[in-house]
Amino acid sequence: LRLWTAPTIKFPTNVTTPAPTSKSYIPPSARTAACIIAPLQQPLIDNFKEYPGILGEQYYGDQDTGILMQYPGYQWDDPGQSAGQTGCGNSYDARLRAWYSNAVSGPKDVVIVLDMSGSMQNEGRLQMAKTAAKAVLKTLSNVDYVTVVEFSSDASAFPGGNGLLIPCTDENREKLEEYIDSLVPLGRTNYEAAFTLAFQFMEDSRRSGASSGCKSVMLFLTDGENTEGDANIVKLTNELNHADYDMRIFTYSLGDEAGSGQPA
């Protein structure tokens, strides 16, 4: 249902989680964000009137809280729902949508690296890694290029790109998600193989034009110490990560076994 009288402001569920002292507690950061965007409401309406048939929907997303303001407004939750049911608006977070991440970061090349060693079977780590990887894919669009590398004793990658990054179209995203779901943990942990293959994808993709030509990012998810190979990982990544793509590497530890001396 579209609302034309005023923009709507949406608070993600995790922002409005009830506190013991209040039935509708809103953290100070969210209240501050709401105050900041309040003066923007009338300009959104005026813009729409000034450019009829040209200007479509207008959005504002807040990085710290996930608050979303949009015009025309939108009724997120269906008041006719049965008790206990929730609408799509209850879990909507603008920061996890492609329109927001692309506006913030622009086109980019992304390599998602997933540890699939045997220990990933423990304590729900496998599901955490897969859920995180698929959440990242949802923030990408067809101007972004991406692949998924999985590693244990050795490393391999999504086969659909023939050794190159692929644009994150809806079709390709679905194929990547299916690939992630198919991964099975087995073997040891070989960081050297993982980083080498990830950088090889970036090298080959940039040379062949299978690239956004913009920022490059690696997301490295692991749960344990390097148990295969004896390479100095910091030295290796410094050698591989040359100025042609200057890849930013973000590492994530799953569980409490990741060594502090490793890039996890």
Judge if pTM exceeds 0.75. no
Specify the pLDDT at position 40. 82
Specify the pLDDT at position 84. 43
In which residue are the tokens 């309040």 written? Answer: 38
Residue partners of 240: CB distance under 8 A and separation at least 6: 195, 196, 199
- Report the amino acid identity of residue 24: S
Task: Count, in order, helices (H) and strands (E) of the chain.
Answer: 7, 11
Predicted confidence (pLDDT) per residue in 15-73, tens digit:
555 555 555 566 677 777 777 777 888 888 888 888 888 877 888 877 777 778 888 88
The closest alpha carbon to 75, from 3, 132, 151, 7, belongs to 3
Alpha-carbon dihedral of residues 241, 177, 145, 204, nearest 10 degrees? 50
Q: Which residues of 218-227 are buried (b: 16+ CB within 10 A; e: fewer)?
A: bbbbbbbebb
Q: Is 192 helix (H, G, I), strand (E, B) or coil?
A: helix
- Look at 13 and 225; give whichever has higher pLDDT: 225
The pair of structure tokens assigned to 240 is 């591989």
61-142-9 Cα angle (round to 5): 15
